[in-house]
Structure 1
Amino acid sequence: MDANRRNKLALATAGTAVVAVYAAWAAIHILIVNPLAAMPGHTVGEIHDTMTAAKQWSGPLRVYITLAIGPVLAIAALIITVRRSDLSVASIVSVYLALIVLGAPGYFWASFDIGMGMADTFQINGGDYSPWAAPLYALSFATLVALIAVGASDLLRRRRR
């Protein structure tokens, strides 16, 4: 395998890892960190049990399924990168940047059910109580800027040719 192909594979592997870590942190934040911040003095089990008893939450499966979309797409992109040698670095990077950008709406969607369930069960605001969602949003915003820069750079490079 030549150096160029190894570099592309390394980019795709790193991109897949970042997307997976993003999704894992989002799940931890939604299911554990934020509920504990919203309901100090309660355990996660007590919070989830109270919401389930009030019929305001059906469990974590919806969160897992929603947040799994990004890593599944990242793995698919990794497989495509392995199989196709004609992909440009810009296209590989763009795919992973786009997946991270889409992590913010994915996080919001995945947290909506439990947030509403907490709001209805405990008569609180359903939003984020923990500040640890901010790094997810910041990373998605930074990757949006990077995605625009990569796209503009690639467009300029193509026009010069």
Structure 2
Amino acid sequence: MVGAAGLVAVVAYAAVAAVQILVWNPLAAVPGATLAEISGTLDATGETFDAPMVLGILAVGPMLALAPLILAWRNAVSALGAAASVCLIIAAGALGYFAASFGPGMSLADAYGISGADYAPWGRVLILVSAAALVGAAACGVLALRRARGATMEG
């Protein structure tokens, strides 16, 4: 169950990241313009969002999240181990988000003479989710150590 929930969480993170990079951020960066107008300006200036590259980078997380799902399903890892793995994958999502958003951000910056930073707030939300997941992974590690120490004391 933890592996399946983890896969869903990682896919949701990647989906929000994709929409943030390809829809919400461009619309926030160029207020009043439609995506079609923004795309037209990018084309006219020789820039692109390169959506396949963005989606390819963001697909790494869901592919990695298959491992805890499969290992948990085969009882090769505990629920706590699967949870820690998923938390680490979501924590690493911040790096994936940065890598996937860099090119489109620079394309907007070059085409419109603006900063390549996030204009829509959801990028910061993703980073906060990644930070919380890192704390969750650490908590799983502490809990695993306590459980191991308790098992050693009993045995």
Change over 3 Å in CA distance of 1:74–1:100 after alignment to 2: same
For 1:1-161, list aligned pairs within 5 A.
Answer: 10-57=1-48, 59-82=50-73, 84-160=74-150, 161=152
User: Quick one: distance in 2 between partners of 1:157 and 1:76?
Assistant: 23
Regions of 4+ moved over 6 Å:
none
The TM-score normalised by the length of structure 2 is 0.91
Post-superposition offset of 1:133: 1.6
Note the residue ranges of structure 1 that are not aligned, 5 or more in a row: 1-9
Q: Which runs of 5+ in 2 are unaligned?
A: none
Compute the displacement of 1:58 (Å): 5.5
Q: Secondary structure at the match of 2:59?
A: helix
- AA aligned to 1:23 is A
Percent identity, aligned pairs only, is 42
Deviation at 1:159, TM superposition (A): 2.7
93-102 or 48-57, which deviates more? 48-57
Question: Residue type of the partner of 1:26?
Answer: A
TM-score (norm 1): 0.88
Q: RMSD in angstroms over aligned alpha carbons?
A: 1.3
Q: Which moved more, 1:57-66 or 1:47-56?
A: 47-56
Secondary structure at 1:126 match in 2 = coil
Q: Are the equivalent residues in 1 in contact too, given 2:22–2:49 (CA < 8 A)?
A: no
Segment of structure 1 superposing worse, 149-158 or 102-111: 149-158
Q: Deviations over 1:56-96 (max 9, x none)?
A: 225211100000000111123312322x2241122111110
